[in-house]
């Protein structure tokens, strides 16, 4: 009998998690209630920051970060080419211009030298992406941004639970953004957050997620008033109380889940080293890697065609491999609107043709891991 295909990532919801959602569904506050603040406090503690702001998804979190920094028309924000489109889209939402920088070939993380080469008098901020869950080289990035007076944002959607030089992901940039989509470390269905030590940024983002209105429904109810004012153009980017309850319950699992992801990564590391046609990404000794993804680079002739063949063979064998990501500047929208083209970020473009993400998620059991390794050997060993 064919086995169920193994996805590359998947949520884990316990009965207790479900219980905490049901409790809120039976309560008075489905949204803008007490669970939002409770989740924000718990999340800030994990991120190692004074503040966390909960929002409706990771893309909204990025948009909030751009708004907090006051990014607008004429402003340039440097983003890596190797990321999900939302990292660049948030700059465009604010009328700014995303400028694509290249990544390092060994770990596909934003290259501080490439960042430096992209800086112009219009540059306002840099968004670093902790690709695959590996925190970027924040010391080197900080040197560049501080010298040039730029803000540093971390798109840490892959990396909650990780750390860099002993400091938790979430506390490594001026603002760090997170996603709670089901494939990420913890889920609220859809959801996101921004962590920061800056209380003014946090306050601006809480207004922004609530239509630009300074008080929320519960605050007005408590004060017995109907009066409110809209002070800026905001959005409805709120996260509901039952989602925050799920987030709170999920956070309790985080440490154990990251440990399990690391354990699976160790198994892949040791079992795949024998394969000459495949190399895992380099991991720095300075980080605790959160392993949202386990990415390998194929060393095959004919790169993209060969990768697509390997991809198809894994899929045929029921292993749900993925490709993360098509470099963002190659998408038609960016080519048309910002005149980007192949050749802009050659390292990311070459890597894109050779990368493959293997399944990694805490609910995988040892047999699942073995299955991936067996198929990898069958697929990648020359006949
Ligand atoms: C998932 C993800 C996002 C977007 O998060 P959503 O919650 O899906 O909006 C942004 N950036 C990166 C790097 C991501 O992986």
Kindly name the residue from 184, 252, 299, 313 that is annotated as catalytic: 184
- pLDDT tens-digit profile of 229-257? 999 999 999 999 999 999 999 999 999 99
Ligand 1 centroid vs 33 CA: distance in angstroms?
A: 25
**Domain final residue pick, 251, 283, 300:** 251
pLDDT at site 103: 98
Q: How many domains does the chain have?
A: 2
Question: How far is it, in rounded angstroms, from Cα 267 to Cα 281?
Answer: 14
Q: Whose CA is nearest to atom 2 of ligand 1?
A: 157
Residues 218 and 260 placed together within one structural domain of the fold: no
- pLDDT at residue 114 above 60? yes
Over residues 365-373, the mean pLDDT reads: 97
Q: Is the CB of 86 under 6 A from ligand 1?
A: yes
Residues 275 and 362 placed together within one structural domain of the fold: yes
- Domain coverage including residue 314: 254-380
Residues 52 and 65 placed together within one structural domain of the fold: yes
Query: Which CATH number goes with the domain that contains 374?
Result: 3.90.1150.10
Residues 50 and 36 placed together within one structural domain of the fold: yes
At 374, list the tokens: 């067996």
Query: pLDDT category, 2, cuts 50, 70, 90?
Result: low
Whether 111 is covered by a domain: the verdict is yes
Over residues 154-163, the mean pLDDT reads: 98
Q: Is the CB of 96 under 6 A from ligand 1?
A: no
Residues 337 and 359 placed together within one structural domain of the fold: yes
Q: Whose CA is nearest to atom 15 of ligand 1?
A: 157
C-alpha torsion sign, points 311, 375, 318, 106: negative
- pLDDT tens-digit profile of 291-342? 999 999 998 776 788 899 999 999 999 999 999 999 999 999 999 999 999 9
- Annotate 216-234 with b (16+ C-beta within 10 A) or e (fewer): bebeeeeeeeeeeeeeeeb
Whether 246 is covered by a domain: the verdict is yes
Residues 202 and 314 placed together within one structural domain of the fold: no
Pick the atom of ligand 1 nearest to 292's CA: 15
**Best mutation site among 9, 57, 84, 190 for ligand 1 pocket (most ligand atoms within 8 Å of CB):** 84
Q: Is the CB of 185 under 6 A from ligand 1?
A: no
Tell me the C-alpha to C-alpha distance, in Å, between residue 21 and each of 16, 27, 321, 343.
Answer: 9, 10, 32, 48
Residues 61 and 170 placed together within one structural domain of the fold: yes
In this prediction, what percent of the chain has a pLDDT beyond 90?
A: 90
Is-catalytic flag, 184?
yes
Residues 52 and 201 placed together within one structural domain of the fold: yes
**Domain final residue pick, 200, 234, 251:** 251
Whether 301 is covered by a domain: the verdict is yes
Q: Is the CB of 128 under 6 A from ligand 1?
A: no
Q: Is the CB of 59 under 6 A from ligand 1?
A: yes
Whether 313 is covered by a domain: the verdict is yes
Query: pLDDT category, 215, cuts 50, 70, 90?
Result: confident
- Give the bridge partners for 154, in sequence order: 128, 176
Residues 107 and 186 placed together within one structural domain of the fold: yes
Whether 7 is covered by a domain: the verdict is no
Tell me the C-alpha to C-alpha distance, in Å, between residue 304 and each of 19, 279, 282, 335, 342.
Answer: 46, 16, 21, 21, 15
Residues 68 and 193 placed together within one structural domain of the fold: yes
Question: How far is it, in rounded angstroms, from Cα 28 to Cα 48?
Answer: 31
- pLDDT at residue 177 above 70? yes
Whether 283 is covered by a domain: the verdict is yes
Pairing of strands 163-164, 151-155: unpaired
Q: Is the CB of 155 under 6 A from ligand 1?
A: yes
Ligand 1 centroid vs 83 CA: distance in angstroms?
A: 9
Question: How far is it, in rounded angstroms, from Cα 380 to Cα 241?
Answer: 47
Residues in the chain: 383
- Could you tell me if 52 and 74 are in contact, meaning their C-beta atoms sit under 8 angstroms apart? no
Question: How far is it, in rounded angstroms, from Cα 380 to Cα 383?
Answer: 9
Residues 267 and 225 placed together within one structural domain of the fold: no
Strands, sheet with 287-288, edge to edge from the N-terminal-most edge strand: 167-168, 163-164, 287-288
- Could you tell me if 129 and 115 are in contact, meaning their C-beta atoms sit under 8 angstroms apart? no
Whether 2 is covered by a domain: the verdict is no
**Domain final residue pick, 251, 286, 301:** 251
Query: Which CATH number goes with the domain that contains 28?
Result: 3.40.640.10
Strands, sheet with 175-179, edge to edge from the N-terminal-most edge strand: 51-55, 192-196, 175-179, 151-155, 123-129, 76-80, 97-101
- pLDDT at residue 289 above 90? yes
Whether 1 is covered by a domain: the verdict is no
Residues 322 and 286 placed together within one structural domain of the fold: yes
Cα atoms in the 13 Å half-sphere on the side-chain side of 271: 17
- pLDDT at residue 1 above 70? no
Q: Is the pLDDT higher at 301 or at 37?
A: 37
Residues 6 or more apart in contact with residue 74 via CB below 8 angstroms: 96, 97, 122
């Amino acid at each position: 009998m064919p086995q169920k295909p193994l996805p590359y990532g998947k949520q884990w919801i316990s009965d207790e998690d479900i219980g905490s959602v049901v409790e809120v569904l039976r309560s008075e506050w489905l949204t803008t209630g007490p669970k939002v603040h409770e989740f924000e406090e718990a999340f800030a503690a994990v991120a190692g920051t004074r503040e966390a702001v909960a929002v409706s998804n990771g893309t909204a979190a990025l948009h909030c970060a751009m708004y907090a920094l006051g990014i607008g028309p004429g402003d340039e924000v440097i983003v890596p080419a190797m990321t999900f489109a939302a990292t660049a889209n948030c700059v465009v939402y604010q009328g700014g211009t995303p400028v694509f920088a290249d990544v390092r070939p060994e770990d596909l993380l934003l290259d501080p030298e490439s960042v430096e080469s992209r800086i112009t008098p219009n540059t306002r901020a840099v968004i670093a992406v902790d690709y695959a869950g590996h925190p970027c080289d924040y010391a080197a990035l900080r040197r560049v941004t501080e010298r040039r007076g730029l803000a540093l944002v971390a798109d840490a959607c892959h990396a909650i639970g990780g750390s860099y030089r002993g400091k938790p992901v979430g506390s490594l940039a001026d603002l760090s953004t997170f996603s709670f989509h089901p494939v990420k470390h913890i889920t609220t269905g859809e959801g996101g957050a921004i962590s920061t030590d800056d209380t003014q940024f946090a306050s601006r983002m809480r207004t922004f997620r609530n239509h630009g209105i300074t008080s929320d429904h519960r605050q007005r109810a408590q004060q017995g008033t109907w009066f409110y004012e809209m002070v800026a153009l905001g959005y409805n980017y709120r996260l509901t109380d039952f989602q925050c309850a799920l987030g709170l319950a999920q956070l309790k699992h985080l440490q154990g889940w990251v440990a399990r992801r690391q354990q699976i990564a160790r198994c892949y590391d040791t079992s795949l080293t024998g394969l000459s046609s495949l190399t895992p990404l380099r991991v720095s000794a300075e980080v605790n890697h959160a392993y949202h993804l386990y990415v390998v680079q194929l060393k095959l002739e004919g790169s993209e065609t060969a990768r697509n063949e390997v991809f198809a063979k894994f899929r045929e064998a029921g292993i749900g491999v993925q490709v993360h990501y098509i470099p963002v500047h190659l998408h038609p929208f960016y080519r048309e609107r910002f005149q980007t083209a192949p050749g802009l970020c050659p390292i990311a473009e070459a890597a894109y043709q050779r990368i493959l993400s293997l399944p990694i998620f805490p609910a995988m059991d040892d047999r699942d891991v073995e299955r991936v390794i067996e198929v990898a050997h069958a697929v990648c060993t020359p006949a």
